[in-house]
Amino acid sequence: MEIIRVEGLSKSFKYYTKEEGIKNSIKNLFHRKSLIKDAVADISFSVQQGEIVGFLGPNGAGKTTTLKMLSGILYPTGGYATVLGYVPWQRKKDFKRQFSIVMGQKNQLWWDLPANESFYLNKCIYELEDQDYKKTVEELSTLLDVKGLMNVQVRRLSLGERMKMELIAALIHRPKVLFLDEPTIGLDIISQRNIRAFLKSYNQQYKTTIILTSHYMKDIEEMCGRSIIINHGKIVYDGEINKINETINKLKTIKIHFAEPVCEDAVKKIGNIKEYNGLSATVEVDKNDLKMASQKILNDFDVLDFNVEDIPIEDSIALLYKKGGEAS
């Protein structure tokens, strides 16, 4: 079942420029040069119930702006979208009761109060029954291992503990759609892993539809079956994350371990050197030249081992950013 539908969605911002100095400050009072920034430019996609979709892109690509429009925080400049059958920016009460948005760099909890006070406030806002509220908080605090911290001031919690509390606050009312904007930003490896495991488990149990933005590829690779990549406000890729290399990149990586030291000039004849230390090397070759490169390695060198791999997904995504999504 289709939960989110986006058609030609766009958002532009008007802003002004000013040169330095008092003279230009006074000049700006009477005449300002205005510019238009297309944060999101005519994007279209749909998301089915229970999907976890990774929303990727460089800084300023339009990811957060898109989530803000889908959650009704921003009005679009053009286009159309529905979430759970509602137009988000109409901000109908029934819609607001069925989604949540968590932004890793913004707090929704009261800083000087224990987290359970903010949870109770959300309980009242969403008009939850006492029994349902207590059951939900007990379940989520147990899953996230923060039961012993419920009465501690939020400002006294670590970053990872605060993010867990933010997730509980967002899930108090069992939303059907969850927007996550950099939920693991700044967290240590263990906290990131725990939050990923929790979100995967929660999604499987409640079939919650999740759109996730993150600059950590582990978040995307471990959680998302599908990724949408946006750059300069436009979608440049929509599909499985592990198929980006097949679609975009024509390069393969060969890791070679030599039986005896080999000079760098000799290795350059195989392909583009990425790493080299005499006894081992990592080179990139065009996948169409892979057979010829492999034969050259076996014929010209005494090797202990060599492996052929796809280049890291991060590199392919960076190539997408650079080329605007056009296949190489």
pLDDT of residue 325: 47
Q: How far apart are CA 251 and CA 304, in angstroms?
A: 23
Long-range (24+ apart) CB contacts under 8 A made by 93-98 are 96/72, 97/126, 97/173, 98/175, 98/176, 98/177
Main-chain dihedrals φ then ψ at residue 39, nearest 5 degrees? -70, -40
User: 144: helix, coil or strand?
Assistant: coil
pLDDT of residue 328: 40
For the chain, the structural domain boundaries read 2-243, 250-310
User: 225: helix, coil or strand?
Assistant: coil
Query: Between 3.30.450, 3.30.70, 1.10.8, 3.80.10, what CATH number should domain 250-310 receive?
Result: 3.30.70
Q: In what order do the strands lie in the sheet with 2-17?
A: 33-48, 2-17, 78-83
* Domain 2-243, architecture per CATH: 3-Layer(aba) Sandwich (3.40)
For residues 270 and 296, is the Cβ–Cβ distance under 8 A?
yes
Taking alpha carbons only, the member of 44, 31, 1 closest to residue 228 is 44
Question: Strand 99-103 and strand 2-17: pairing?
Answer: unpaired
pLDDT of residue 324: 56
CA distances to 94, 179, 220, 228 from 176, rounded to whole Å, are 12, 10, 20, 20
Question: Strand 209-213 and strand 52-56: pairing?
Answer: parallel
Print pLDDT tens along the chain (328 aa): 899 999 999 999 987 777 787 877 777 777 777 788 889 999 999 999 999 999 988 888 889 999 999 999 999 999 999 999 999 999 999 999 999 999 877 788 888 999 999 999 999 999 999 999 999 999 999 988 898 999 999 999 988 889 899 999 999 999 999 999 988 887 888 888 888 999 999 999 999 999 999 888 888 888 888 999 888 888 988 988 777 766 666 778 899 999 999 999 998 989 889 899 989 999 988 888 888 999 999 999 999 998 988 777 767 777 777 665 444 4
Read off the tokens for 19: 């040169």
Return the amino acid letter for 215: H
> Cβ contacts of residue 281 below 8 Å, gap of 6+?
255, 256, 258, 262, 267, 270, 273, 275
